[in-house]
Amino acid sequence: MLAVGLLGIIALMGQAPPAALLATAPELAALPPWAQRAVLALNPLLLVMAASAVGAALAHRVGLRSLLAGTAPARQPPRVWTASVGWGLFVGIAVQVVDRLLSPAWSEGWRALVQAPPDMAGSRLVVGLLYGGLAEEVIARWGAMSLLAWTLLRVFGPAHARLALGLAVALSALVFGAAHLPVLAAQVELDTMLVARTLLLNGLGGVVYGWLFCRHHLEAAMAAHAATHLALAALQAGLGG
Q: What does the pLDDT look like over 169-185, one tens digit per residue?
A: 999 999 999 998 988 88
Question: What are the structural domain ranges in the chain?
Answer: 2-238
DSSP codes, 158-186: GGGHHHHHHHHHHHHHHHHHHTHHHHHHT
pLDDT mean over 65-78: 93
Q: State how far the Cα of 176 lies from the Cα of 207, in Å rounded to an integer.
A: 10
Regarding predicted confidence, which is higher, 31 or 94? 94
Q: What is the pLDDT of residue 107?
A: 75
Q: What does the pLDDT look like over 111-151, one tens digit per residue?
A: 776 666 656 667 888 999 999 999 999 999 999 999 999 99
Q: State how far the Cα of 189 lies from the Cα of 172, in Å rounded to an integer.
A: 25
Query: In this structure, are residues 134 and 5 in contact, taking their beta carbons and an 8 Å threshold?
Result: yes
167 pLDDT tier (thresholds 50, 70, 90)? very high
Query: In this structure, are residues 181 and 197 in contact, taking their beta carbons and an 8 Å threshold?
Result: no
- Average pLDDT value for the chain: 90
